Amino acid sequence: MNIKILLRIASGLLIFHMVAHTLGHSGWKRAEEPLKQEIISKMVGHEFPFMGADRSMGDYYEGYGYASTVALAFMAAVLWIISSATYTNRELSYKILLSLALALLFWGGIEFIYFFPFAASITLLACLLTLASAIQLRGNK
């Protein structure tokens, strides 16, 4: 398959992941289960000083979630940009694609360990498409 198409599909997967992640994460404070609501209350109820700022564990959790949204958007943008530049700067494109494939591999592994298989599957599929693109780019010298 064409490298440009592979990378645009990978980019689209990450955009889907970003949107689903953001929508899912934005409602984390709403819970119907009493035990879950109690835990959330404890996470957001007490702030403590850290590096010059007072923050709760809920602030950290929320911040990491939105930082993940930014990271997914950035990776999707890089894949989209590289999809149009693979033949103008092959060596740089190859290095970026390999680096991004490795990052996506670790990201997907973390999702399997700490989150859930659906999210990890999307990330790992984007990883495979990115890696396939890098391999195909290297082979088309």
What number of CA atoms fall less than 13 Å from residue 42's CA on the CB side?
5
What's the pTM? 0.89
Report pLDDT digits (tens) over 87-139. 888 999 999 999 999 999 999 999 999 999 999 999 999 999 999 999 998 88
Cα of first residue to Cα of last residue in the chain, in angstroms, is: 16
DSSP assignments along the chain, one per residue: --HHHHHHHHHHHHHHHHHHHHHHHHTTT--SSHHHHHHHHHHHH-EEEETTEEEEHHHHHHHHHHHHHHHHHHHHHHHHHHHTTTTTSHHHHHHHHHHHHHHHHHHHHHHHHHS-HHHHHHHHHHHHHHHHHHHHHHH--
Domain range for 84: 3-47+54-139
Determine the pLDDT at residue 141.
62
Q: Which residue has the tokens 């709403």?
A: 30
Q: How many whole angstroms separate alpha carbon 29 and alpha carbon 7?
A: 35
The domain total for the chain is 1
Residue 1 has pLDDT above 80, yes or no: no
